[in-house]
């Protein structure tokens, strides 16, 4: 079966999807994106992802290239054409094509690219076994709340993690506090049993999975605190995990050279993961 | 005359130049670039620009997609095909095309895109009249010494400048010191007659024009100091100017709402500009 991409109004074979060399996404990282997981033939939290996309566009002054309803129809059509029942859809909107100039051009339609990918998410070993993370300095810009394609530092961090045999790198601010992973939010259960994740600010992405997890926690009567934590607190935590649209709730069993808890996914991480996976599978509704 | 672009081994009409939607330059800002001005049929400081390109690639662990000598031949060929006697050549190297994954892929050839543009540089009114700059917080990442295509904050700053009727925005660090413009280095002649520009570090790009200007100053027996200056110092300066490959030496006559000196390009800025333009025109050699 051919795999299609959607590029600026056309469904094209994936290998032929192309954008102009003066697309501002290619020359200036002048664009935003979203990734939505698909489980059991349905997108998870599509509304929240599109709301965030809307906010990212708005923060950068990029106009929607089409109305949101049409955009959603294209998403559904691409998923159907590519027969993705478990996997993801990736959507990227850039400011469009214009002669190279730092200044935002006027009157240029934004570019849209969408692709899908089949991924056997639920059978990933990392969900059951947990992962190792490393800690690195957070070298990014000050507007990490906008989900831009300006991801070079994230790529550098993820590569450093892989080179250290780890899955993710937790970025650490000047005060020694963890901001977030390179493509996930960071959580710990402290030594005195508090569930913590950093408050949403311009320092981190307001993760959709992070938000859903908070709603699940509330419904389940589980308390959590939006509070930054240090690397030291993380290393002495009972449990740790990361959350993201494509890593779901992935337990963290080692930070740098330090084993977390007994080196196995902790009980709370496990419960939250189960709850969240049920939610993704459509087996759990939230109020 | 058709205008050509060079894209991954082929000379193609500019409008047809395209890269794959999974080029890492488009999805991750995972690439670097250089712009070299062309004056009187010759590139200015091509060697220094290519040395910096080499360093940028090296800092990001991207291998040259071809050897440098071949790269230089392509540059010369493109300039000849497009008959550019005054203008610029733009060169972008990205990490190449790979299925989307933050981690750097292995064994993927880097992508090359080159374009040229004719620009009547020497007749630009800003060179004789000077420009206004505004000051804005520096919101960029911590590795501004690498000339990456991750330019979104620079674009935001340049757009803010344009909206304020200014040519450039000087970015200001947490300590209130000017780092650099969004696409140029910043210089002042202080109230007590010192020529200052910020020392090269990871906070700023080591401008090729900045470096050439230092060599010219040395040859002309003019002293300068690599020392950071505050917004306040800049606003009370006798003179100010910016340097870059495509703005050459452009006098600054206003910073925010404050007129610099008597509101006209200062005498030292004027001398340095003349020297530099002579150098660009090949009428001045440096030891």
A21-35 pLDDT tens trace? 999 999 999 999 999
Contact B18 A17 (CB under 8 A): no
In the structure encoding, which two tokens stand for residue B154, read together? 């620079």
pLDDT at site B285? 85
DSSP string, B65-99: SS-HHHHHHHHHHHHHHTT-SSEEEEEEEE--B-S
Residue B284 — very low, low, confident or very high, per pLDDT cuts 50/70/90?
A: confident
Residue B37 in this model has a pLDDT that exceeds 70 = yes
Q: Among all residues of chain A, which has the CA nearest to that of B203?
A: A139
Handedness of CA A145, A149, A153, A154 (dihedral sign): positive
- CATH 3.30.470.10 in chain B, residue ranges: 4-119
Would you tell me how many other CB atoms lie within 10 Å of the CB of residue A127?
A: 19
| Mean pLDDT per 10-residue interval, chain A, length 287 residues | 91 98 98 98 97 98 96 98 97 98 97 97 94 98 98 98 98 98 98 95 97 95 96 98 97 98 96 96 86
**A287 interfaces chain B, CB cutoff of 8 Å:** no
- Residue B211: phi and psi, rounded to 5, are -65, -45
Residue B50 in this model has a pLDDT that exceeds 80 = yes
Q: Which residues of B fall within a CB distance of 8 Å from A113? A: 21, 26
pLDDT at site A1? 58
Q: At what angle do helices A46-60 and A208-219 cross, to 10 degrees?
A: 130
Alpha helices by DSSP H, listed for B125-246, are 125-129, 152-163, 208-219, 231-235
pLDDT at site A50? 98
**B168 interfaces chain A, CB cutoff of 8 Å:** no
B223/chain A closest Cα distance in angstroms: 33
pLDDT digits (tens, 9 = 90+) for B134-154: 999 999 999 999 999 999 999
pLDDT at site B24? 98
Mean pLDDT, chain B, whole residue set: 97
- CATH 3.20.10.10 in chain A, residue ranges: 125-280
A197/chain B closest Cα distance in angstroms: 23
ipTM above threshold 0.85: yes
Q: Find the CB nearest A102 among B139, B148, B155.
A: B155
Average pLDDT of the segment spanning B99-110: 97
B40/chain A closest Cα distance in angstroms: 22
Q: Residue B20 contacts by C-beta under 8 Å, 6 or more apart in sequence?
A: A15, A17, A18, B26, B97
Average pLDDT of the segment spanning B250-273: 97
pLDDT digits (tens, 9 = 90+) for B212-257: 999 999 999 999 999 999 999 999 999 999 999 999 999 999 999 9
CA distance readout (Å), B8 to B12, B92, B148: 10, 11, 19
CB contacts < 8 Å between A and B, how many? 144
**A60 interfaces chain B, CB cutoff of 8 Å:** yes
* CATH architecture type of domain A4-119: 2-Layer Sandwich (3.30)
Catalytic (active-site) positions of B: 147
- Assign domain B125-280 to its CATH superfamily: D-amino Acid Aminotransferase, subunit A, domain 2 (3.20.10.10)
Strand pairing class (A248-255; A258-259) = antiparallel
Q: Find the CB nearest A25 among B20, B26, B60.
A: B26
């Amino acid at each position: 079966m051919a795999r299609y991409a959607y590029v600026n109004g056309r469904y094209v074979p994936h290998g032929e999807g192309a954008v102009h060399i003066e697309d501002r996404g290619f020359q200036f990282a002048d664009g935003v994106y979203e990734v939505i997981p698909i489980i059991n033939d349905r997108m998870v939290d599509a509304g929240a992802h599109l709301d965030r996309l809307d906010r990212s566009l708005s923060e950068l002054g990029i106009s929607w290239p089409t109305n949101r309803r049409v955009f959603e129809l294209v998403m559904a059509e691409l998923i159907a054409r590519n027969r993705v029942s478990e996997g993801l859809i990736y959507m990227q909107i850039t400011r469009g094509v214009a002669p190279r100039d730092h200044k935002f051009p006027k009157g240029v339609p934004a570019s849209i690219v969408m692709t899908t990918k089949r991924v056997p998410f639920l059978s990933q070993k990392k969900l059951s076994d947990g992962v190792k993370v490393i800690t690195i300095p957070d070298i990014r810009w000050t507007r990490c709340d906008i989900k831009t394609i300006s991801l070079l530092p994230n790529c550098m961090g993820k590569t450093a993690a892989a080179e250290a045999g780890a899955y993710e790198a937790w970025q650490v601010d000047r005060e020694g506090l963890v901001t977030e992973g390179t493509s996930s939010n960071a959580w710990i259960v402290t030594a005195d049993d508090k569930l913590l994740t950093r408050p949403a600010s311009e320092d981190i992405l307001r993760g959709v999975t992070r938000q859903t997890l908070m709603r699940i926690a509330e419904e389940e009567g589980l308390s959590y605190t939006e509070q930054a934590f240090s690397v030291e607190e993380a290393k002495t935590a009972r449990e740790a995990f990361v959350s993201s649209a494509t890593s779901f709730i992935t337990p963290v069993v080692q930070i740098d050279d330090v084993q977390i808890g007994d080196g196995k996914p902790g009980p709370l991480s496990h419960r939250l993961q189960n709850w969240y996976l049920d939610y993704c599978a459509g087996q759990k509704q939230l109020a």
